[in-house]
Amino acid sequence: MSNKKKVLIHSIAFSPDGVSTAYLYNDIAKAFKDSGFEVVVLTTTPHYNVVPENLSQQPLAKKALGLYYISVFNGIKVLHVPQKKFKSTVLRLFGFVYWHILSLILGLAQKNVGAILSPSPPLTIGLINLIIGKIKGAKVIYNVQEIYPDFLIEQGGLKSKIVIRFLKWLERIVYNKSDAVTTIDEVFYNTILNRFDDKHKLHIIPNFVDTDLYKPLRKEEVQLNATHFRQNDNLKLMYAGNIGHAQDWEPLISAAILLKEDNIDFYIIGEGVMKQHLVEQVRIYNLNHVHILSYQPRELMAQLLAFADLQFIFMSKEMEGHGFPSKVYTIMACAKPLIVCSGLGTPIINFLSKHSCAKLIIDHEDLAKTEKIVKYLKGVTKTELIKMGNNGYQVVNTLYSKEIVANQYVSLISSLI
């Protein structure tokens, strides 16, 4: 290894932001620090999921009259470029450009950088890192968490042929000019492999879970608010996370309607653009067994999972091929089973089909899908669910703990610099 042992992590989200990418890269940053690297993080101010408790533990200090901020995370310096969730498209575009310009300046100001690591999206973060890496003589590693521009095209939000051509050109530049590219799944790997001139640059490094925080709990260890989390013998299904367009909510509502008279409770926990729609559906159909609750602190997740018998993830057709929900690892780490709806050959189905810890429903015809969900929930026993949960727990602790996977990033960068 050369004298350059500083790793610059450049991510759109990092602590104290409370989203999955932030938590993932928090642990990667700590793994590099624990391995003897100096680490500096370049990110935004919290704006995805602002958690007051996180902010109080990691306060941001204003620098250069507020042009950027500095905080400290576990002894790691973190540089924050201000960002907000603007409703105005013009303001969002201005904020996006501002973040890139200031990130470039702050990145170039760092001394002795040996490697730069960043996750997608956006693609443009990879371009900024290539510029910094070229000037600083640093190796650049790009981590593909979602495939762009494919994701935007199939979602239907990107139709301009000029923009699509530009983003595809940018994707090839980022992939081929980076020193290494990692992706999280075999499906992603096979999708983008032919976009590389040198295919040896592409590596699979899966995501992972903090098995110290997420672990099985006994029922008596669960200390949740009994008003919201009702203790009874009903089968309890749960979804905890972003309530957005990545999930297909219609079969859930349809199944809940058909199961109104059964001893089954549905819990939906979190925030997002589809939450109000679900609240309205629950009201319209008088679904008293569907409980929609606010975001709960990350520290309570193990208790939430212990409370429920089964976790559900119903992927939307537009999103299923371009993302892998990190909550899958969390659920498995807590020895809980899943019921998953997604298309054949998608990352989540590809992963779970190997591990006997989930009921997989591979169907996108709503009627057939709903019928399969209802039939399974009416027939499954809690003994079966416990066995499935234990299968997942063994897999996570063998292959997907933060120690095992984060060290793959450390090994890759060590080999490059």
pLDDT in tens, 69-109: 999 999 999 999 999 877 788 888 898 899 999 999 999 99
Q: How many domains does the chain have?
A: 2
Is residue 182 domain-shared with residue 309, that is, in the same domain? no
Kindly list the distances between the CA atom of residue 342 and the CA atoms of 173, 247, 315, 319, in Å, as whole numbers in the listed order: 31, 10, 5, 10
* Residues 99-108 as b or e (16 or more Cβ within 10 Å = b): bbebbbebbe
| Dihedral over alpha carbons 245, 347, 171, 32 (to 10 degrees) | 100
Per-residue pLDDT averaged across 267-274, rounded?
93
316 within domain boundaries: yes
Report the pLDDT value the prediction gives residue 269, as an integer from 0 to 100.
Answer: 96
12 within domain boundaries: yes
Report the pLDDT value the prediction gives residue 1, as an integer from 0 to 100.
Answer: 40
32 within domain boundaries: yes
Is residue 193 domain-shared with residue 105, that is, in the same domain? yes
Is residue 286 domain-shared with residue 371, that is, in the same domain? yes
Share of the chain above pLDDT 90, in %: 73
Whether pLDDT at 362 is above 50: yes
Report the pLDDT value the prediction gives residue 49, as an integer from 0 to 100.
Answer: 78
Mean pLDDT of the chain: 92
Whether pLDDT at 186 is above 50: yes
Per-residue pLDDT averaged across 177-190, rounded?
94
Report the pLDDT value the prediction gives residue 152, as an integer from 0 to 100.
Answer: 76
Show the CA angle centred on residue 177, arms to residues 175 and 179, nearest 5°: 85
Report the pLDDT value the prediction gives residue 3, as an integer from 0 to 100.
Answer: 54
CATH number at residue 248: 3.40.50.2000
- At 48, the amino acid letter reads Y
192 within domain boundaries: yes
- Write down the pTM of the prediction: 0.83
Is residue 350 domain-shared with residue 382, that is, in the same domain? yes
Token digits for 229? 């989390």
Is residue 356 domain-shared with residue 241, that is, in the same domain? yes
Report the pLDDT value the prediction gives residue 366, as an integer from 0 to 100.
Answer: 52
313-340 pLDDT per residue, tens: 999 887 787 778 889 999 999 999 999 9
Is residue 411 domain-shared with residue 266, that is, in the same domain? no
351 within domain boundaries: yes
Instruction: Tell me the H-state helices in 137-249.
Output: 150-155, 161-177, 186-192
Per-residue pLDDT averaged across 110-124, rounded?
94
CA gap 265, 263 in Å, rounded:
7
Least confident residue range of 126-135, 210-219, 295-304, 320-329: 320-329
Is residue 370 domain-shared with residue 258, that is, in the same domain? yes
Is residue 236 domain-shared with residue 250, that is, in the same domain? yes
237 within domain boundaries: yes
Question: What length does the chain have?
Answer: 417
Whether pLDDT at 364 is above 80: no
Q: Which residues contact 369 (CB under 8 A, 6 or more apart)?
A: 251, 341, 361, 363
Q: Which residue range forms the structural domain that includes residue 363?
A: 219-399
Is residue 251 domain-shared with residue 355, that is, in the same domain? yes
Whether pLDDT at 308 is above 90: yes
Report the pLDDT value the prediction gives residue 282, as an integer from 0 to 100.
Answer: 96
Is residue 164 domain-shared with residue 297, that is, in the same domain? no
Is residue 361 domain-shared with residue 411, that is, in the same domain? no
Is residue 165 domain-shared with residue 224, that is, in the same domain? no
1 within domain boundaries: no
Whether pLDDT at 2 is above 50: no
124-142 pLDDT per residue, tens: 999 999 999 999 999 999 9
